[in-house]
Amino acid sequence: METQSSIAEAIRKMSEAYAGGLATVMKTLESLPRQGGESNRPMVEQWLSLARMSKESYVAALNQGFELWERECRRVVGAPHPAGSGPAPPGGPSPNPMEAWAETWKRAVEGFSTSGAPGDPWREAARRQAEMVQQALQESMRAWQRLWQPPEQR
């Protein structure tokens, strides 16, 4: 049961990080100056691309978490897990979607730090907001990584 609680906690933190990321993207886009229309387009596309990549990573991590939860349910009741189903644990042959997600936001923060005019208040606000999401993702990733540790190391 402890593993099931850990899985639920990791999925909850991951979902909160995802929702926070979407809220950050929306807040940032809403703060763009209304004038300039076409000049804002690259920034809008950059943020929407970041949101799209986050969605893909979130869905992959959610699927991975559900399959882990399903295996744990089968283990608890002594039912065999169908052979060949489910992803390999992170660090194995399949990529860890949480690490990919965190790396995407890390690159975004770095990009916001170097793009645009120095001292631009919008750029600074965008960077700070992206850093907050990155921090939430890192916390979520720690919970995710604990799932893959042997029970005696948790």
Q: Are 146 and 91 in contact (CB under 8 A)?
A: no
Q: For 36-58, how does the pLDDT look when each residue is reduced to its tens digit (9 = 90+)?
A: 667 777 778 888 888 888 888 88
Please give the pLDDT value at position 93. Answer: 43
Q: For 14-41, how does the pLDDT look when each residue is reduced to its tens digit (9 = 90+)?
A: 888 889 889 888 888 888 777 766 777 7
pLDDT of residue 146 exceeding 80, the answer is: no
Report field, pTM of the whole predicted structure over 0.75: no
Say which CATH number the domain at 84 has. 1.20.120
Give the number of domains in the chain.
1
Q: For 73-128, how does the pLDDT look when each residue is reduced to its tens digit (9 = 90+)?
A: 898 898 887 765 554 455 454 567 777 777 887 887 777 666 666 667 777 777 78
**For the residues 70-74, what does the mean pLDDT come to?**
88
3-state secondary structure of 18: helix
The whole domain housing 42 covers: 2-153
Token pair listed for 96:
């860890």
**For the residues 54-76, what does the mean pLDDT come to?**
87
> If phi over 0 gives left and psi between -120 and 50 gives alpha, with beta otherwise, what is residue 95?
beta
